[in-house]
Every structure is written in structure tokens, then in C-alpha cells.
Amino acid sequence: MQPNSMWRILTAFTLVALLFAACKKDMARNTGGNPNTGTGVVSSNDSIYDVFKDIYLWTDAVPDSATFKPDSYSSPFTMFDSLKGFKKNASGANLDKYSFLDDGTVAQVLSGHAGDLGFQVGFQTNTELRVVYVYPGSPADLAGVKRGWKVNSINGTSSFQYGNQATYTLLDNAFGAASANFVFTKADGTSQTSTITAAQYNLNPILYSNIFTLNSTKVGYVVFNSFTTLNVVQSQFDNIFASFASAGVTNVVFDLRYNGGGAVETTEYLANKMAPAAQTNKLMYSTIFNANVTAGKFGWLFSSMKALPDYPQYKWTDIFYSEATTYAKTNFGSTGSQNISKLSFIVTGNTASASELLYNVLLPSMSPRLVGRKTYGKPVGFIAVRIGINDMYCINEQSLNSAGNGSYFDGLNPDVNVQDDYTNDWGSFSDPMLRAAITDQGIPASALGRIAATESLRTAEIPGFFTKANQFKGMVTKYIKR
């Protein structure tokens, strides 16, 4: 029996433990150690290097151990940064802007758990901060904070400057602290002072959903901020899509402007909800690994590792080999429940990975439109493993849609180019991205009303947000017991 036939679930942001018995910098092994050296201890650097070399998608670019010398690096993190720098693009720049080591925070967030203030801020102009989004049920949400509010002061400081280190330090300290004091200007012009205390909460990445009736056309709109594992969001999405079908929604705008990716199982679920009925049982996407994984050729270290304590008969090599062969192709399931005639995705440079995959797998059958800015560019993903105290996310798979397309490393270009703006709450037709997506679907601007005047239009692209929460970009594969 293939291991996956019993408990395979694909996701993009959670972990499985690759169980090493770690002891300080060294990890004692129960296999008798490296048969080539006769030792019973393998250093953390060596272990990370060996597993990386086995499963890395671009393993041919990585030198052998004798040349690379893993133990010459002062820490696993400095060594890992060097490892991912060998793969270059056509212009000679580093292609791998994706792989990283993590302390387990990513796994917690993408399984629906967070412990922070619960909101994100960004620069509207070089000197003005705005609330970019707020997670439902978070401390900020409980304090009434809304997207679009202006931030007047943080812990008594009221002067902010894009590109200024003192401002970045202020933001890092405030959003990384147990609590911080904020003074906001609300949408109605009044002021609110709030001391927001970090707390654990269940992460709900569906920030907004609504159905608009515009010139007799039903438009469904959803703002989705992170591809958490499917169990976190499925019941909500089931209700949303049921309401779309009941209302006769034909046009859908799916807002992924800040969605850095997540669980592939959630991507598959959404693709099945949106795709036309004719796609049922047809190829959704295929996944490629390096040649050694596809051939089942692994080094001694990785070959000896058990995959999960609940299934000691399976090794990690079983999992990777079956993913590269038996489960290399994923088909659509039951589709066509929505009868969507026009589909648009709102995207920015923060849209990545599982978000881009959703668009790419629907492209051959639905020709969805992209509205906003060029996406991040991540057609690759991880099967994450734990080595010692660190979770290793090294790129080991690339996804191609049914037309064989999946090399958008530089990002996906929008069909309609429009700049983001932080001054409006979700669902406002003064939001330039939402407005552009709807009018691009053929609905006249007159049906949306006049654009509200704003005191500070974004006149320049200012990338990035500055809180410490929920900044992952990637796709990860998880195996759990069904």
C-alpha cells in the first residue's frame, strides 16, 4: 500500500517533523552514524546540508559536501543562506528567494493560530501610516480598528518616515511587544486612542465577503489573506459559495492582494469550487521534483529517517518518491457548482505562491483576469521537514498547470494595472483596485457611484508592511493522519 493512499493531505504552510534526536549542536543518530566515517554523531550543519542536497529542486547547482564544507559555517542559518544562493537566474542573480529556516511560527499561523496584535500597517505616503488589514477576532479587531484608519502616533511618537531606520525600529518594537499604544484617525475624522495587547487568537484569513447587485449583475467579492489549512476556512467558504449560488452570482472578484500563499489543499478546494463543470476529473496541475527524488535515489541520512511516529513503517524517502511519481498529477474534483462567467483576482507584489497557483490552474479553462500589480513570482513549493529545533523550508517542487505553464519566477503581470490604496475599508467602491476589477468585468463606473475624496492619495509605490506577523510566502506540503 502506498503511504499516501491512507493519509495524504496536501497543504502549503504546515509542518511534519523529521525526527532527529538533537543534543546541542550535534544530533546523535540511532542508525550507527555515517557509514562512511564510522561516527555516531552528525552535526546540525551536516544534517541540514545532507537533507537539503537530497530534496532541493535545484540540487545540481549545489556543490558536494567536501567542496561546500557545511561545518565551516558558524550557524545553520548562515550556512542555509549560502546554500540557497547557488541557483542563479538567466541574468546571474539568485533565483531562490524562497527557501528559509523557521522556528515553528509559520506552522502555528497556517494552522489557524496567532499570537500578536492582529493588524498590519503600511505607508500610504512617505510620512503617513495607515491600517492595511485587521484579522477578525484579533486584539485589534476587538478594539474596533478598521482598514483605512490613519495612524497618528505609536507609543507617543507621531513622526514617521519611509526608509528611516528609527521608524522601522519603532514599528518592530511596537508590533513585537506585549502591548502598544496607538492613536488613530477613524474614517469619520474622529480620533481613537487604544492600548492594544497581544494575545493568542484563532486566525480567520477571510477578511471580508459580500454580494453586490450592480446593473442587475450579481458580483461576489471575497478578501482572502492567507491559505491556511482547509479545516480552518472550509465551513466559511462553503457558506460563502452557497450564498453566491443562491443569489445567482455570475461575476466573482477574489481579492488576494496581501495573500502570500499557504495550504495547497485550500488552493485545490477553491479551484474546484470555481472551475466549470467540464473540468471535472481533468488535470488541474502537475508537480515536478529533482531527478534523484523521481528516481528514488537518496543519501544514507535521509534514507534512514522515519516520516511520522504514527506510521513508523514509512520513511521520508517513501513520501518524496510517491509525491514525485504516484501523486505527481492532481485532477479537478467535482466542479461547476458556481456557474461563474467572469472571474477576476486582485493582486500585488505581496500575492505569492498558493495564490498564484490558484490563478494558474484556472487559467486554461476560465481565463481569469488579474487586476493590480505584478505578483511576487513563486511557482515552487516545499515539503517542510524539521531538523533539530528548526523547520526547514527548502524548495523541492514546481507546479505546472494543465497547459504546462509554471515558470513565473518574475511574477505574473496584471491585465489591468492599478495602484493599491490604504484609505478605504473593504468593499468600498472608492477602492481603486476593487473598482477597476468590477469595471473590467463590463459593469459601468456609473453603477459604482462617485469616488470618495481622500486627503492623501498614494503617489508612489512603497513596498512592504512592517509588522512581524504573518509574513510567510510559500507553498508547503503536509502529511497528516486522516
Asked whether 117 and 142 are in contact (CB, 8 A), the reply is: no
Map out the domains of the chain as residue ranges: 1-112+203-482, 115-202
Structure confidence at residue 190 (pLDDT): 98
Give the CA diameter of the chain: 77
Which candidate, 422, 456, 427, places its Cα nearest to that of 133?
Answer: 422
Query: What strand order describes the sheet that includes 397-401?
Result: 261-263, 474-477, 380-383, 397-401, 283-288, 329-331
Fill in the DSSP letter of residue 320: H
Rounded Cα distance between 233 and 246, Å, is 20
- Identify whether the C-beta of residue 210 lies closer than 8 Å to the C-beta of residue 221: yes
Q: How many CA atoms lie within 13 A of 328 on its CB side?
A: 13
> What homologous superfamily does CATH list for 115-202?
PDZ domain (2.30.42.10)
234, 268 in Cβ contact below 8 A? no
pLDDT digit string (tens) for the chain, length 482 residues: 344 332 232 222 222 322 222 222 222 222 333 434 444 456 889 999 999 999 999 999 999 999 999 999 999 999 999 999 999 999 999 999 999 998 777 776 667 678 899 999 999 999 999 999 999 999 999 999 999 999 999 999 999 998 899 999 999 999 999 999 999 999 999 999 999 999 999 999 999 999 999 999 999 999 999 999 899 999 999 999 999 999 999 999 999 999 999 889 999 999 999 999 999 999 999 999 999 999 999 999 999 887 665 567 778 899 899 999 999 999 999 998 999 999 999 999 999 999 999 999 999 999 999 999 999 999 999 888 878 778 899 999 999 999 999 999 999 999 999 999 999 999 999 999 999 999 999 999 999 998 776 555 554 555 555 544 444 455 545 433 22
Identify whether the C-beta of residue 205 lies closer than 8 Å to the C-beta of residue 133: no
Q: Distances in Å between the alpha carbon of 287 and those of 12, 268, 301?
A: 14, 13, 25
Q: What pLDDT score was predicted for residue 42?
A: 66
Residue 355: which of 267, 477, 286 has the closest Cα?
A: 267
Contacts of 113 (CB under 8 A, 6+ apart): 200, 201, 202, 203
Q: Which amino acid would we find at residue 180?
A: A
Three cell numbers, residue 248? 445567482
Tell me the residue type at 183.
V
The pLDDT, as a whole number, for residue 453 is 62
Residue 399 exposed, middle or buried by CB count within 10 Å (0-12, 13-18, 19+): buried
Distance from C-alpha of 323 to C-alpha of 46, rounded to nearest angstrom: 25
Q: Do the beta carbons of residue 220 and residue 252 sit within 8 Å?
A: yes
Question: Which alpha helices (DSSP H) does 202-229 contain, by range?
Answer: none
| Residue 167 to residue 184: CA distance in whole angstroms | 17
3-class DSSP state of 106: helix
User: Beta strand 474-477 with 261-263: parallel, antiparallel or unpaired?
Assistant: parallel
Rounded to whole angstroms, the Cα distance separating 40 from 363 reads 51
Start-to-end Cα distance in the chain: 15
For domain 1-112+203-482, the CATH architecture is Alpha-Beta Complex (3.90)
Report CA dihedral (61, 65, 68, 72) to the nearest 10 degrees: 150
Residues 6 or more apart in contact with residue 67 via CB below 8 angstroms: none
Residue-level pLDDT at 405: 97
